[in-house]
Each structure stands twice: as C-alpha cells, then as structure tokens.
Amino acid sequence: ELKVEQNPLFLSMQEGKNYTIYCNYSTTSDRLYWYRQDPGKSLESLFVLLSNGAVKQEGRLMASLDTKARLSTLHITAAVHDLSATYFCAVDLFYNAGGTSYGKLTFGQGTILTVHP
Amino acid sequence: DADVTQTPRNRITKTGKRIMLECSQTKGHDRMYWYRQDPGLGLRLIYYSFDVKDINKGEISDGYSVSRQAQAKFSLSLESAIPNQTALYFCATEDRLTGELFFGEGSRLTVL
C-alpha cells in the first residue's frame, strides 16, 4: 500500500525566511505533484514532477524530486504572507502502459503554512 | 466559467436521506475522480472512471455509488447518508499524459 507522508504538518514562518516542506512516499514512483489549497477553496496545481532529478520553480517556490530516496521537497524562499495556504504532495503509481498515467493519486496529509509579518 | 463544476456547493441533510453530488467538465478529459477531504487526512479516493463504460472503486467506496452519464458528467450518490459522511467532496479530471488533476470547487456536505 502506498503511503505518502508530509513533514511538517504545521509550519509557522516569518516573512522573509526560508523553509522546506518534505514529502516521503513508500513505494517506487516516477511522478509526484504539488498542490496548493486556500481555506475553503479548491486545490490548485503547483508543480508536476515527472522524473528523477526533476526541479521546477515558480516565484518563491521550488520543488524537486529524488525517486531513489522516494523524497520530494518544496522549498520556500523569502516567504510572504500570500503564500499562507495548505500544501499537498501527491504520488502517482505510474504504470508504463503506452506512456500514459496509471492515475489514482495518493495524497499526503497536507502542510498548513502560515506566514507572519 | 470553471472547467470543472460541482453542484451543489453546500448541502445540509439528515441521516438516511439520499444525496447526489454532480460534476461536469469542459476540459475534454476521459478520466474523472471523486475524492473526499477530511481535516488532517488529506484527500481520499472514493471512485474513479477512465471512460464512460469504466467505473472503479477507490479506497473508501463503501456507502457511495457513482454514475458516469457522459464523458463530461460524473455523479456521486450517497444512498442513505450518515453523519460520518460529513466532509468536503471534490471532483477532478485528469490529463492522461502528465497525470495532473484538475479539481472542481468542492461540495461541502453536512449530514445531521
């Protein structure tokens, strides 16, 4: 059974500081996704990581994937209040059937990030 | 207009009532999903459908049923609602090439 664990589950940061959220998963997978959710809102796709060593950056957020370590990180640089949200990682048990996704993402518990002035 | 639309957005009902949550999409994706979100538990998969003729159970399908009426429509039903089905429900579609999910706005269900 695939398990996805995020660390920490709660993160309180000061504006301007850096921090990293970790996502560990329990079985082989080549695909990992990061989503953001604002309170009472839907989930918004942040990053799609499709291979070992993949690194993607968008503004103050950078995500990376190490499939050998079964680990993804979401690094926050110089946090601002607008980044306050819940962040989820999700893992796909990728099945190479004609190059398409197997589907059925398994989600971590989510990390609630609060950025203070 | 949203690409993935859920109705109703909020619903309060009583134990034993039948409830249907509807989802429609304009993304043209074949694959659709229903997830449930509870605080501290992330999202858990209820049912999924890879095309109109394909329906599959997820990890928590007991007490739920689904119908895929068309490529664009996927409905979730609670035949006899119970209080522990109180949750936020999300419909999603999938881009098959990347596996990326696109979520609806969510349907908040309260069962009294």
Nearest to A47 by CA among A93, A88, A103, A95: A88
Residue-wise pLDDT tens digits, A58-108: 999 999 999 999 999 999 999 999 999 999 999 987 544 444 555 678 899
Instruction: Identify the pLDDT of residue B1.
Output: 64
Instruction: Identify the pLDDT of residue A97.
Output: 43
Give B65's contacts (C-beta < 8 A, 6+ positions apart). B47, B76, B77, B79
Residue to mutate among B103, B105, B108, B110, with most A CBs inside 10 A, is B103
Instruction: Identify which has the larger pLDDT, B51 or A29.
Output: B51
Residue-wise pLDDT tens digits, B71-108: 999 999 999 999 999 999 999 999 988 889 999 999 99
Which DSSP category does A97 fall into? B
Instruction: Identify the pLDDT of residue B108.
Output: 96
Instruction: Identify the pLDDT of residue B52.
Output: 93
Instruction: Identify the pLDDT of residue A103.
Output: 63
pLDDT at A6 exceeding the cut of 60: yes
- Subunit contact A45:B44, Cβ cutoff 8 A: no
